[in-house]
Amino acid sequence: MFNTMLRMKTLHLLQAHMSCCSVVRQNVHQLASIKHVCLLSERRRQGLLYPFSALKEHLTPQVDQAEFKIFHPSLNDLCRAETLFTPSHKNHIEYSTSAVRMDHVPVLKQPEVCFMGRSNVGKSSLIRALFSLAPDVDVRVSKTPGHTKKLNFFTVGKAFALVDMPGYGHRAPQDFVEMVEPYLQERQNLVRTFLLVDSGAGLQRADLVAVEMLEEFSLPYVLVVTKTDRTGQGALLTLMVQLQDFIKKQTSTCFPQPFLVSSVQFSGIHLLRCFIVHVTGNLRPTAEQT
């Protein structure tokens, strides 16, 4: 009787753990590849590949549209970048390891990018979307905000590494500062930090603290606006103009163009892939871009 009760309790705890944080072997999104996006109408294709194009028609003449298209690669550039996010016998894409302290961080030679943001900003879902062409890559997507407690490392062949950082804010790890600050300060191969901002909330106080830290360390970073499918075009446009003004007036190491993404609709994912491949030194856009 006791053994039966113990087994039932153990099964219950296991099921609870699995529902809290599942290791997702995701199905390939139907729009994960550009060849499928190109089958769409011109308007929808442009909206997915270059999300700002759906908003620009609502801009007033006083706003310089060029500021929102500083990085605007060609379709061919997007296709070239996609090849690095596609696994092959020469390009292994995989989860590498996790670390809770700097002495656990792996020694990697590839240039590295990291993703950080408030808990529940959609960080793990975005990384899962970026790696959607490699469905065997295990990306942990928590159903509970603040569940990510470690630095999770993914490697894309010899091209670059990507790091999923713990979320800050609600239910953030108590040792977040002890884990993240040393990594940001000491990681020699870190070439860009992607700071995620919820499109429905905008820059919050915790985000401003993260911006202050990145500015203090003189680290190059990028603002990525997530969950755009949940926000109307008017609110999105207002947020983009506000972020553009914030970057121009209050930052010195932030890339001047915010990126719009939706992991659900897959908009902006191809553009962000291309930017990652670009900043890690694996692609020089053919168009006149930075």
The pLDDT of residue 4 is 45
Domain 23-279 CATH (choose: 3.40.50.300, 3.90.1150.10, 3.10.28.10, 3.10.20.600): 3.40.50.300
Q: Contact 259/268 with Cβ under 8 angstroms? A: yes
Q: Which of 75, 82, 129 is nearest to 277 (CA)?
A: 82
Lowest-confidence pick of 38-42, 54-58, 187-191, 193-197: 54-58
Q: How confident is the model at residue 19 (pLDDT cuts 50, 70, 90)?
A: very low
What average pLDDT does the segment 81-98 reach?
95
Distances (CA, A) of 267 to 92, 132, 136, 163, 196: 25, 13, 22, 22, 15
Lowest-confidence pick of 4-8, 138-142, 226-230, 250-254: 4-8
- What is the percent of the chain with per-residue pLDDT over 90, rounded to a whole number? 66
Beta bridge partners of 99: 151
Distances (CA, A) of 99 to 4, 81, 103, 149: 37, 28, 8, 9
What average pLDDT does the segment 229-253 reach?
94
DSSP string for 199-214? TTT-S-HHHHHHHHHH
The single-letter code of the amino acid at 235 is A
The 3-state DSSP class for residue 26 equals: coil
Burial of residue 7, with CB atoms counted within 10 A of its CB: 0-12 exposed, 13-18 middle, 19 or more buried: exposed
d(CA 227, CA 129): 12
159 pLDDT higher than 90: yes
The single-letter code of the amino acid at 133 is L
- Supply the pTM of this predicted model: 0.86
The pLDDT of residue 14 is 35
What average pLDDT does the segment 38-49 reach?
94
The pLDDT of residue 236 is 94
Burial of residue 83, with CB atoms counted within 10 A of its CB: 0-12 exposed, 13-18 middle, 19 or more buried: middle
46 pLDDT higher than 70: yes
pLDDT digits (tens, 9 = 90+) for 171-220: 555 557 778 889 999 999 999 999 999 999 999 999 999 999 999 999 99
The pLDDT of residue 32 is 93
Domain extents in the chain: 23-279
Q: Contact 215/252 with Cβ under 8 angstroms? A: yes
User: Which residues lie closer than 8 Å to 234 by C-beta, 6 or more apart?
Assistant: 58
Mean pLDDT of the chain: 85
Block residue for tokens 């970073």: 221
Q: Which of 47, 27, 117 is nearest to 266 (CA)?
A: 47
